[in-house]
């Protein structure tokens, strides 16, 4: 079931689409009267207003939820199992959209898209210069000692194997990587971390934490299948939790200091 509280006046089908429900699935749910607006069943595409509560029983799992949108920026909460490129194609059907960055297929959380060329330039520059603060939630095997710290090592990408390796000292073709972590909760066999991705390389969080023996639970590439099976983890427990935007000027200066965050847990 998909549950949404509308923030504007809009058609229920469009609202569902903006929250990751495919058009065909929304129409089918309406035909079956499996959509409720403020607790009342509806069988057609009615208008809803700010504050209205929508509940829909749909066949297709939503791909995303809209977190923030204005004339320049679209920020969504991508679901696990959804490819970033496929989500971009889906969002592009809504109107002019530009791809800015990606998340691994089985990592969920905050993704940003530009809605025009000027915004694309500003967002790409922000990621390239590391101006944005990027935080993740990660459930990992065991626990770090100390409870918080900064990991500084070197990464080599193996494109043929679609993987990376971490080294303590520089090796040929390596690049420096920096990952900050803070322990939020210690559990029986795992711990929950908040991770700040400082450098942002391919698979950096997954490989870097695994290098220290604390792999992300559910990670089939850098983790341990025996542990994943024991914990019934079929997808990696890694979520892009929060992005803090920083702009020195330009078209998106009004968004300087804005935090885009998901509220659900991990």
- pLDDT score, position 20: 81
Other Cβ atoms less than 10 A from the Cβ of 196: the count is 16
| CA dihedral sign, ordered 122, 123, 125, 130 | positive
Q: Which residues contact 127 (CB under 8 A, 6 or more apart)?
A: 100, 101, 200
* Domain at 63-130, CATH from 1.10.3470, 3.30.70, 1.10.10, 1.10.287: 3.30.70
For 85-135, the pLDDT digits (tens) are 989 998 998 899 999 999 999 999 999 999 999 999 999 999 999 999 999
Q: Is the pTM of this model over 0.85?
A: no
- Report the Cα 64 to chain-centroid distance in Å: 9
Instruction: Work out the mean pLDDT of the chain and round it to a whole number.
Output: 94
- Domain 1-61 has what CATH class? alpha beta
- 231 pLDDT higher than 70: yes
Contact by Cβ (8 Å): 230, 220: no
CATH fold group of domain 134-241: Pseudouridine synthase (3.30.2350)
- pLDDT score, position 223: 97
Distances (CA, A) of 244 to 100, 210, 241, 258, 265: 15, 26, 10, 6, 18
- 32 falls in which pLDDT band (50, 70, 90)? very high
Tell me what the mean pLDDT of segment 55-83 comes to.
91
- pLDDT score, position 214: 98
Per-domain residue ranges of the chain: 1-61, 63-130, 134-241
Please state, for a pLDDT cut of 70, what percent of the chain lies above it: 99
| Helix/strand/coil percentages in the chain, nearest 5 | 20, 35, 45
Tell me what the mean pLDDT of segment 38-67 comes to.
92
For 145-180, the pLDDT digits (tens) are 999 999 999 999 999 889 999 999 999 999 999 999
| 194: helix, strand or coil | strand
- Compute φ and ψ for 164, nearest 5 degrees: -135, 160
Closest CA to 234 of 80, 18, 49, 4: 80
- pLDDT score, position 2: 87
Beta-ladder partners of 149: 181
- Pairing state between β 148-158 and 163-167: antiparallel
- 264 falls in which pLDDT band (50, 70, 90)? low
- pLDDT score, position 265: 56
Contact by Cβ (8 Å): 193, 137: yes
Closest CA to 111 of 101, 121, 119: 101
Tell me what the mean pLDDT of segment 221-243 comes to.
96
Which two structure tokens, joined as six digits, stand for 53? 């509560």
- pLDDT score, position 266: 56
Closest CA to 266 of 87, 49, 74, 77: 77
Degrees to nearest 5, angle at CA 131 with 129 and 132: 125
């Amino acid at each position: 079931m998909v549950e949404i509280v509308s923030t504007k006046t809009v058609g229920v089908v469009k609202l569902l689409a903006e929250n990751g429900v495919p058009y065909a699935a929304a129409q089918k749910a309406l035909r079956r009267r499996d959509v409720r607006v403020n607790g009342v069943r509806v069988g057609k595409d009615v208008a809803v207003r700010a504050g209205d509560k929508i509940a829909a029983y749909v066949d297709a799992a939503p791909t995303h939820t809209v977190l923030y949108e204005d004339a320049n920026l679209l920020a969504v909460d991508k679901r696990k199992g959804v490819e970033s490129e496929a989500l971009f194609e889906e969002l592009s059907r809504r109107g002019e959209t530009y791809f800015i960055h990606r998340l691994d297929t089985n990592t969920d959380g905050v993704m940003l898209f530009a809605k025009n060329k000027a915004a694309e330039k500003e967002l790409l520059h922000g990621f390239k210069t590391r101006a944005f603060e990027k935080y993740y939630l990660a459930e990992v095997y065991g626990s770090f000692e100390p409870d918080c710290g900064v990991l500084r090592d070197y990464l080599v990408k193996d494109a043929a194997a679609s993987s990376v390796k971490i080294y303590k000292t520089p090796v040929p073709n390596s690049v420096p990587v920096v990952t900050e972590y803070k322990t939020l909760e210690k559990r029986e066999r795992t711990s929950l971390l908040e991770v700040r991705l400082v450098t942002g390389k391919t698979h950096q969080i997954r490989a870097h934490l695994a290098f220290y023996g604390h792999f992300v639970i559910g990670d089939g590439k850098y983790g341990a299948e025996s542990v994943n099976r024991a914990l019934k983890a079929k997808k990696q427990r890694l979520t892009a939790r929060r992005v803090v935007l920083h702009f020195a000027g330009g078209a998106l200066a009004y968004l300087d200091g804005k935090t885009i965050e998901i509220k659900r847990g991990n």
